[in-house]
Structure 1
Amino acid sequence: MDASNRVRSRETYGQVGGAVALDLVNTVSWRLSAERCIEHFVDFDDVQRWAHQLGLVGDAQSAALGRLADEHPADAAAEVARVIALREAIYAAAYEGASTQPLVAAHAEAVASGRLDPDDHGAGWAWEFPEDLALPRRRIALAAVDLLLRDDLDRLGQCSDAECGWVFLDTSPRHNRRWCIASDCGNRNRVREHYARVRATADSPTGG
């Protein structure tokens, strides 16, 4: 993937994937277009804001991560590269049939650095990790393995737009979802297809 087009991400990240790991994959816009591809993880601030919005870190943890990134900019930049590498490993494993070994290794690293504690409601257990720069990536690793252990992976879908590349878990009643966002890629492609049909009719020998 050529992600040379790097821009500051929007304030709110899209959550159309139906799973945290898929929403992570969608932090690249126009993934399937070498010319239009946009990387939204420009720096660690983007990573921690995404993790906060997706509920992987809380308010206090997000603030602490911001301070750590300011204090250790080189480490923060290296962590962004690791998150992006993990994101691409998720995409490759889920959509390109690549090995899951990088995800298994990331999961093992996450588990090794954490501990299981009772959750806040006392109804189960949750992984707790050190509040360091790797915290978002460790929680992403757990989410990635959770995704690949689902029993409905036959419902993994990708936007039918030729350049979009956003992914999702198709939970539609008929399992016939085509678009990441029907009002965005869906409408744009329907308009394009409509005008293509109009032109084809006009250019045909029997056209009006």
Structure 2
Amino acid sequence: MNTVSERLAPELCVDYLVDYDEVVRFGVETGLVDDEQAAVLRALASRHPDVAVAEWTLVRGLREDLYAACYEGGPTEPVVREHAEAVAAGTLARAGDGWEWSFAVDLALPRRRLALAAVDLLLRDDLDRLAQCADAECGWVFLDSSPRHNRRWCVASDCGNRNRVRDFYARKQAATTGVVE
């Protein structure tokens, strides 16, 4: 969900998943796709650009469906449908002490892995710790692992500082003008 910056301020909103290559880069960065798979995916995308664009669109749709389910009271059915399609396309196999999904390396691989991760997120026991940044524009999501569960900002040094400075300036202005909010 955090591939959109300033989600809550449409005039400032930036979507970082601008094309299929960025989906692959995100997959590598998050460990959903390894470097070897990424090379295959990029080659496939160059040979089948229309399919890559379709997959890019589906990944963005999955992201928005997950966000809507978590923060806008939207239905979970679209996310569950993506999950079911991923499960149908995969093979569950023993891996070390556990089990792992295996998929063909095709252009749908990042979406399938994201669908599994999305449902894993929705099924967490500590989903009540899933929070959205308190910044009025940000909209990033994080898992609050603070000891008192009172984290407010996605990144304290970014949104936190910006909001603390904004609040300080507003208090200074109020003290100077005598206007109290």
Above 0.5 in TM-score? yes
The one of 43, 48, 65 equivalent to 1:67 is: 43
> Are 1:127 and 2:105 counterparts?
no
> Are 1:181 and 2:155 counterparts?
yes
Map 1:136-155 onto structure 2 (within 5 A).
Answer: 136-155=110-129
Task: Output one character per residue of 1:109-154: Cα deviation in whole Å (capped at 9) or x when no partner.
Answer: 00000101222xx212100011000000000000011111111111
The one of 118, 143, 156 equivalent to 1:169 is: 143
User: Which letter maps to 2:137?
Assistant: E
Partner of 2:2: 26
Q: What RMSD in Å do the two structures reach over aligned CA positions? A: 1.2
Partner of 1:15: none
The one of 12, 28, 43 equivalent to 2:19 is: 43
Shift of 1:94: 1.1
Q: What runs of 5+ residues in structure 2 fail to find an aligned partner?
A: none
Partner of 2:175: 201
Q: What runs of 5+ residues in structure 1 fail to find an aligned partner?
A: 1-24
* Distance in 1 separating the partners of 2:166 and 2:90: 50
* Distance in 1 separating the partners of 2:120 and 2:131: 17
Instruction: Give TM-score, length-normalised by structure 1.
Output: 0.84
Aligned pairs, number:
180
* Distance in 1 separating the partners of 2:139 and 2:167: 19
Q: What is the DSSP-based 3-state SS (H/G/I as helix, E as strand, rest coil) of the residue aligned with 2:154?
A: coil
* Distance in 1 separating the partners of 2:126 and 2:72: 17
Map 1:53-92 onto structure 2 (within 5 A).
Answer: 53-92=29-68
* Distance in 1 separating the partners of 2:89 and 2:153: 38
Instruction: Give TM-score, length-normalised by structure 2.
Output: 0.97
Shift of 1:157: 0.8
Higher helix share: 2
User: Which letter maps to 1:128?
Assistant: S
State, as a whole percentage, how many aligned pairs show the same letter.
63
